[in-house]
Amino acid sequence: MRDKRNKLFVDSAFQGRLMLRLVMYWIVYHVAMWHTLFLFNLFATAISYDPAAPPKSVWELYSEFAGQHVGVLVCCAAMLPILARDLLKFSHRMAGPLVRFREAIEEMAAGKPIRPVTLRPRDLLDEFLVAFNRMVATWNQQVGQERAAAPVDSELDLVHADR
């Protein structure tokens, strides 16, 4: 059994959707947070209104707010790849075993006896592995019985088949 997989991105359907979902949640959360902070800033500006100061439009207030809080955007942009890589590594602990189970199922569909599936130490789906390997043992018994019960062609059958 190998202890290290060669690729981190092994199942684009599962891991790709998970990464896309992370990015979408990240964007929605930070857009909502950014505008909520701006609204609090806008309310604070309205409460501390100074009639002697020249009036500012909402766009000017937004520009000032963005200039003062650009560090938040930089932090968000810097943290997204770090969190995305960690989520990719975590999802690999589930996607990797799913790929192995799929390969075993394809061998079973081809009618072959298969070896029990083993997982790496930190992989997930341990409970599924136990049930799957019980199924593999039953499958291997059935395939072995079918092969033992299958009639062996005699030389006479082979001769008649040539005609």
Please give the Cα distance from 72 to 9 (Å, whole number). 30
Query: 99-129 pLDDT, tens per residue?
Result: 999 999 999 999 888 999 999 888 999 899 9
What is the number of other CB atoms lying within 10 angstroms of the CB of residue 96? 22
Q: Does this model's pTM top 0.75? A: no
Q: Are 89 and 8 in contact (CB under 8 A)?
A: yes
pLDDT tens digits along 42-69: 999 888 888 888 888 899 999 999 999 9
What's the CA angle centered on 15, arms 9 and 17, to 5 degrees?
A: 140
* pLDDT recorded at residue 160: 38
Average pLDDT, stretch 71-84?
94
